[in-house]
Amino acid sequence: MALDGETNLKNKQPCQPVAKVCATVEDICSNSIHFAVEDPNLDLYKFDGNVVINGQEKLPLTNNEIVYRGSILRNTEQVLGMVIYTGEECKIRMNANKNPRIKSPSLQARVNRVVMLIVVLVVALAVACTIAYKYWAEDVENSAWYLTQASVDLGPIFTSFLIMFNTMIPISLYVSMEIVKVAQMFLLNDIDMYDEETDTPLEARTSTINEELGQVSYIFSDKTGTLTNNTMKFRKISVAGTAWFHDLDIREEEAKEGDRGKLIHKKRSVKGKKAVSRKSNVSEARPSGVRCSNVSTGVDMAGTMSMRGRSLRDGKMASTCRTTDMIEYIQRKPYTVFARKAKLFLLSIALCHTCIPEEDEDGNTTYQASSPDELALVSAARELGFLVQDRQSNTLTIRSFPNGAYEPAVDEVFEILEVIEFSSARKRMSVLVRMPDQRICVFCKGADSILMNLLKKSNLAQEKAVEIERRASRRKAAEANSIIRRNSEYNNRKESGFSRPSMHRRSSVSGQQVNTLRDSIDVWLRDRETDHGLLTRENDSAYYSPRPSTQLGRASMAVSDSSSMHEAEYEDLVEEALVVNETAVFERCFQHLNDFATEGLRTLLYGHRYLDEATYENWKKAYHEACTSLVDRQEKIEKVGEEIEQQLELTGATAIEDKLQKGVPEAIDKLRRANIKLWMLTGDKRETAINVGHSCRLVRDYSTVVILDQENNDVEQSIVKLTADITKGVVAHSVLVVDGQTLSMIETDATLRLRFLNLAILVDSVICCRASPKQKAFLVKSIRLQVKDSVTLAIGDGANDIAMIQEAHVGIGITGKEGLQAARISDYSIAQFRFLLKLLLCHGRWNYIRACKYTLGTFWKEMLFYLTQALYQRWNGYTGTSLYESWSLSMFNTLFTSLAVIFLGIFTKDLAASTLLAVPELYNKGQRHAGFNIKLFLGWTFMAACEAMIIYFTMYGLFGNVLFNNRAGNDIYSLGLLSFSACVVVINTKLQALEVHNKTYLSVIVMVISIGGWFLWNMILSVRYTMESGKGVYHVNGNFLKQTGHSLSFWAVLLVTVMAVIVFETAVSAARANLFPTDVDIFQEYEQDLEIRKRFEEAAAMELQQGWDRGTKKASFELVRETEKAEEEEARERQVQELLARPRVMTKTGSGQVAVATTNMESGPNVVIEVPGTGHSGEDAQRSKDIHELFSKGYGAIRKGHLK
């Protein structure tokens, strides 16, 4: 059975005495069975109870007999059980949040504070105007005979100003924001986040927190089903000191995936740095560090070298060291020492397990295994020619192909004498086997730390293991120091968001400067893609490369498609002379184990020992007594087992990959670059969690890993020490590992809990293993409350992830796997973890920018419009008279400016998706709240005030006071009409032309509808408006159609006013962008360069490739490549015609060869062309410098390399 969201099966067995007496329903009714169970609690990993059968026998109940709610039953058709917990008392429900909080975006709180500020501003403006009225009344109103008895009390005046200015408080902001967010939710349906294999698109279940996706600073991720597929794959093997890479499944995946076009980055010659070729649609996997030519003895690996193994023979490519080559070598040289040792090792893999072979309907053999590790090992043995054909009670039939894969198979029967099973205390398992030749052999496999002590030469094994660990520690320290120095350099740079390429903005630069700019960006990007160059150095190393990233579907280990090698290559494949050197074999094997573990692979060490009959019989007797003991049976079995598991010979080592989902390491790398910290919260054991942390690059090669374990160390002391080291800056990269039991202890101590949380905030990553759902939610809630400005995201796929998904600011569910409860309860659901990149870095950031621009745009347009009202009050005695006609005023937000700000909030994109994915550092704009803050609000408010003054005083000075005296042309309605028109045109122009970077036809449509709609409204109003509508204050009827609309002066002043505002806006924006450029300003300019844009697209190809494949639109670099290719072909054709059209002179040389030369050349280098099929050179020879041009361009069958 497996809990929802898990694919790793757990064996459950009934209590055998109960099963015997309750085999049927009738037996259950006829027997008296009494169960006593513990009270409901949260612990998923422990259960205590007992059962009494017929009032006599009392038996214990443990977790092995319990099936939890939410589990999936597998490999068993049906079971009979008794329900012991129901409803909210079930463990899965007790671990869930009983009252999940209502989620709201953090941006909303900031907006609410600004709205309160605007409320204060409105009241202050009303008070100021009221006071101004008081002084005006004293100076003007009281002395004006025509205003006798027209005085108004201050109360009504203050109220009228409140009513006039209250619309500056944008109630429409919240209404239109919902429209914007709903539209954003539909735009999340991106083809790049569609999983074709499971037919699962992204699904958004809320639109409330769209902008939160652009501000995430912490990600809490489940492991199984989220980061990993929980599919174990046999990946590497070390035998007789030689390591081999097992890539059959990788090549099968490649064959299924097909030959997709790869985007190769153009090599550029960069001064001081060597440009490299990149494959952008997949992360280029590094050749394995565990290679055919292995570690030499006594090599000092200190210093700055990023290496783990020293090659004994340079030039042997890791890509040839495949297990298929090993099998072919064994078949070609079956009697060599290496062949005998390799066959024995493969046989031990096929024998040392508890798997049961089964044959399906198609005749294929499958296996039922207690763990996915054993299944991976047995499957690998089958692929390598040792097929477990049949298992009986005490025999195992192995089918092998000693004479070759195409020769008849040979079946051998092995008698399984005893099986000493694996346990968490022993960390190993053994089988005693009687071989077909009647010899008895013990095969043992287990953790290398345990098994090395059981070897015959355990002292040598421990010595080599310590030596290798010491070298690895020195190497990691050197890498860590390099990273610390690099981080210090970057921290010293005072950049706005991150360290950009060291280059200045360019207005007019030469071609050489442009190339320098491109190369600088290329180097800058590659430096971050390769972890400041460390991965590049490892890539260039002749003897090491971490993690092959096989989960990508393409691995550099499988670059060769040839299935055979030349005989000479097989001669050098294995060094037989060194196979018999035990010291070298031990060092190589333990070096390989170190490499395997560093790569995040799960390692096992194998040993064997032959026994004589007497030794076996004596041990068998003791083992039988231990198995039948009634007291301390398990302890006695383990003790007797240790007696036979001694003096073992080293057989070899294996490495199993917990297969990650596609693109997980690359996604984690980019999330790390985006300043997002990733925590892995899992219910798995510690070793498994750390291995996955290595393979997914959560744990770096140079990381300082601190394990908090209440049983083995002082937790508080470890916390204090690591906190001090991080504060001092002596730790390059830190990872904190804590288990559920230790976390429970930390939760109960308030002081320790605070110290733990402070450390967890400082470290780069946290791995929590054996964590219950309640503990996952506790960690998420603690960070959410402890780090006030943080936005947390929780992602998982099972029922045990629901609590943390509900607790986080943003909850993401993984669909398409076994569990769906998490997806149903989440805010957004995706099919694969790697889709987080596009969701956060692109859509999340866009939605944040859109929400911020929408909010700022709304505040700005309200300020701009109503400040013109405030300016007009000086000219009406601060009596509260409106400059604008009431019907038009009421429609300002609804009809004439709503589309501009709504479409700004829906469609604006400040940067392209390729740029955001290639440069994840740009994501920190949301984390820094740089899209909306008080500083920005005040800046936009200042611009609104300045532009309101430009509009009003230009209108009043040119139209209302200076040029015209015709009352019909410049009355209050005409002035208001001009000011209103200018505001509508300016607002739509700024929000849809100046503020939108990705301008499309939609911007034009919005401007036409809004601006055209305003003038259409005036036409309608001019016809339909009656005197009663405006109560005689505004002369609307017929005004626009018959008077103002026919005035050339009106349109001229409108044009001048709008142009003045646009020029002012453009000038301020240009000055700000040049004097105080932001990251967005710089990268928007970079995007204008085609070569730089191509580089960004190639860096983001893995995330965007699916959209390119399915869409008709090609990437810019593809279009350019096609154009360049066509132009190059055309140029070549012209050159060929010119060269062929030149007159030539043929002369014989003294050696019987022919030289050809053009007539205008008297001398030149000779090019000799020999005529095939003759004993001498051809009769004709040509001499020409032009022929070198032909050869250099590679025409015909002759290439540049043929020149002598």
- Helix and strand totals (H; E) in the chain: 44, 27
- The one-letter amino acid at 1176: H
The predicted structure's pLDDT at residue 547: 36
| Span 839-859, average pLDDT | 96
Q: Which amino acid is at 706?
A: V
801 annotated ligand binder? yes
Highest mean pLDDT of the ranges 53-67, 701-715, 1136-1150: 701-715
What token pair was written down for 24? 């049927």
Of 762 and 815, the structure prediction assigns the larger pLDDT to: 762
* pLDDT number for residue 1121: 63
SS (H, E, C) 120-145: HHHHHHHHHHHHHHHHHHHHCHHHCH
Q: What is the DSSP string of 465-520?
A: HHHHHHHHHHHHHHHHHHHHHHHHHHHHS--SSS---S----SS--HHHHHHHHHH
Among residues 910, 696, 814, the alpha carbon closest in space to that of 214 is found at: 910
46 marked as binding residue: no
Position 1120 pLDDT exceeds 70: no
Band of residue 43 on the pLDDT scale cut at 50, 70, 90: confident
Give the pLDDT of residue 500. Answer: 53
Q: What is the pLDDT of residues 13-24, one digit of tens each?
A: 787 788 777 877
Residue 498 annotated in ligand binding:
no
422 is in an annotated binding site: yes
Task: Summarize pLDDT for 308-322 with one digit per residue, the tens.
Answer: 333 323 333 334 488
CB 614 within 8 A of CB 324: no
Q: Work out the mean pLDDT of the chain and round it to a whole number.
A: 80
Q: What is the pTM of this model?
A: 0.79
Q: Is 222 annotated as a binding residue?
A: yes
pLDDT at residue 821 in the model? 80
Residue 190, φ and ψ in degrees, nearest 5: -105, 135
pLDDT at 1203: 37
Q: Is 285 helix (H, G, I), strand (E, B) or coil?
A: coil
Least confident span in 134-138, 225-229, 938-942, 1117-1121: 1117-1121
Q: Which residues of 687-708 are buried (b: 16+ CB within 10 A; e: fewer)?
A: ebbbbbbbbbbbbbbbbbbbbb
Element (H, E) at 434: strand 428-434
What stretches of 1025-1115 show up as alpha helix (H) in DSSP? 1027-1030, 1039-1042, 1048-1075, 1079-1086, 1090-1099, 1101-1110
Read off the pLDDT band of 394 (50, 70, 90): confident
| CATH top class, domain 196-201+218-227+661-831 | alpha beta
The pLDDT-based confidence of 1180 (bands split at 50, 70, 90) is very low
Q: Are 1189 and 1139 in contact (CB under 8 A)?
A: yes
Q: Is 332 annotated as a binding residue?
A: no
Range with the lowest mean pLDDT among 168-177, 269-278, 407-416, 753-762? 269-278
Tokens standing for residue 204: 């958004």
Does 683 count as an annotated binding residue? yes
320 among the known binding-site residues? no
Token pair, residue 679, equals: 């925590």
Q: Is 658 annotated as a binding residue?
A: no
pLDDT at 968 over 80: no
Q: Is 662 annotated as a binding residue?
A: no
Among 530, 551, 549, residue whose Cα is nearest residue 541: 530
Q: Are 158 and 130 in contact (CB under 8 A)?
A: yes
Question: Which two structure tokens, joined as six digits, stand for 1082?
Answer: 């710089």
Q: 103: annotated binding-site residue?
A: no
Say how far apart CA 376 and CA 353 lie, in whole Å. Answer: 11
3-state secondary structure of 1157: strand
Mean pLDDT of 212-241: 92
pLDDT of 812 higher than 90: yes
Q: How confident is the model at residue 962 (pLDDT cuts 50, 70, 90)?
A: low
- pLDDT value at residue 720: 93
Give the residue-averaged pLDDT of 978-996: 95
Distance, CA of 1123 to CA of 1129 (rounded, Å)? 10
User: Any idea which of 58-62, 452-456, 647-651 has the lowest mean pLDDT?
Assistant: 58-62
**Residue 964 annotated as binding?**
no
Active-site residue, selected from the candidate residues 192, 222, 373, 669: 222
Catalytic residue at 827? no
Nearest to 1151 by CA among 1136, 1168, 1128, 1130: 1168
The annotation status of 684 as a binding-site residue, yes or no, is yes
pLDDT at position 222, please? Answer: 93
Q: Which residues pair with 443 in a beta bridge?
A: 431, 608
Composition of the chain by helix, strand, coil, percent to 5: 50, 15, 35
**Per the annotation, does 770 bind a ligand?**
yes
Structure confidence at residue 933 (pLDDT)? 93
Residue bearing the bigger pLDDT, 715 or 403: 715
Q: Where are the domains of the chain?
A: 2-94, 113-146+156-183+842-1092, 196-201+218-227+661-831, 477-540, 1133-1202
Whole-number Å distance between alpha carbons of 968 and 875:
18
Share of the chain above pLDDT 90, in %: 42
pLDDT at position 608 over 60: yes
**Model pLDDT, residue 287:** 31
Q: Which positions ≥6 away from 83 have C-beta within 8 Å?
A: none
Angle between helices 845-872 and 972-989 (to 10 degrees): 160
The reply, when asked if residue 800 is annotated as ligand binding, is yes
Q: Which comes out higher in pLDDT, residue 547 or 680? A: 680
Q: How far apart are CA 350 and CA 382, in angstroms?
A: 8
Q: Greater confidence, 287 or 322? A: 322
pLDDT tens digits for 121-151? Answer: 999 999 999 999 888 888 877 777 767 666 7
Cα distances from 4 to residues 67, 350, 775, 823, in angstroms, run 12, 32, 18, 11
pLDDT band at 230; cut points 50, 70, 90: confident
Looking at the predicted structure, is the pLDDT value of residue 836 above 70? yes
User: Residue 882 and residue 867: Cα distance in Å, rounded?
Assistant: 12
